[in-house]
A = this chain, B = another copy of it.
Amino acid sequence: MTNFQYALELLGTFFFAISGALAIQDHHDDLFGASFMGFVTAIGGGTLRDIMLGSYPLVWIGDIYFVYAIFAGVLVAYFFYRYLVGLKRTFLFFDTLGISFFTILGVEKALRLGVHPEVAAIMGMFSAIMGGVIRDVLTNETPVLFRKEIYATACLAGAILYLILFRIGVDRNINLIVSIVLIFIFRLLAVKYKLALPNFRKGG
């Protein structure tokens, strides 16, 4: 992993921890609840990815700086709570940053471990969305990935773009940035224009 990727992964972890801590609800509104939510949101996806790939030690167990990045995120959420929540789109912003970074870093890691590109795309998406899914399941919310607006699909699209650019030999760091930006913009446009996939039940 290059220093650039390492910095992106720490940043993504930090963003996810903020979004997790901001997601607390009335019934678990205390310091522990918010820290736990930030922690689970930040590590959930990458942990599931690494366990599925059998890649040990897990990122945050092997490198204590990820644990520090999480607690930094929770502290930022704590001290700036009234400002961050006041900005209506803050949660969306940090969550979208998180999924954009984690999708592409997840694809990268899966490829490095030698899996099929199809599986790498799925692993990238899992890295991005599963932290939030676990967070929502723990608090009995309907997981964000099942809401109508395009969410995980944006991650998949970015993962596929990355794989195509990778195949045709684009420089790795450029590819990283382009694919991350695609997911970020796709997701924000999806929310703004309420883009949704066609229904499944109508059938073929």
Contacts and interface: CB of A to CB of B under 8 A. Distances in A.
Interface in A155-204: 156, 196-204
A27 interface: yes
A128 interface: no
A137 to B, nearest CB: 6
B142 A27 contact: yes
Contacts of A107: none
Interface stretch (A7-15, A97-105, A115-123): A115-123
Contact of A67 (B54, B118, B202, B203): B118
**Size class of the contact patch on chain A:** 35 or more
Given A137-B137, A142-B140, A30 B203 contact: no
A58 B64 contact: no
Given A146-B27, A203-B82, A204-B78, A153 B32 contact: yes
A70 to B, nearest CB: 10
A133 B137 CA distance: 11
A21 interface: yes
A197 B137 contact: no
Interface in A48-62: 51-54, 56-58, 60-61
Contacts of A58: 52, 54
B36 A152 contact: yes
Contacts of A147: 27-28
Given A54-B57, A80-B203, A81-B202, 13 more contacts: A21-B200, A29-B199, A29-B201, A30-B148, A30-B198, A30-B199, A30-B200, A36-B145, A52-B61, A54-B58, A67-B118, A78-B200, A140-B142
20 contacts: A27-B146, A29-B200, A29-B201, A31-B198, A32-B153, A33-B200, A36-B152, A53-B57, A54-B58, A57-B115, A61-B116, A64-B116, A64-B118, A64-B119, A79-B204, A81-B202, A81-B203, A81-B204, A139-B142, A139-B146
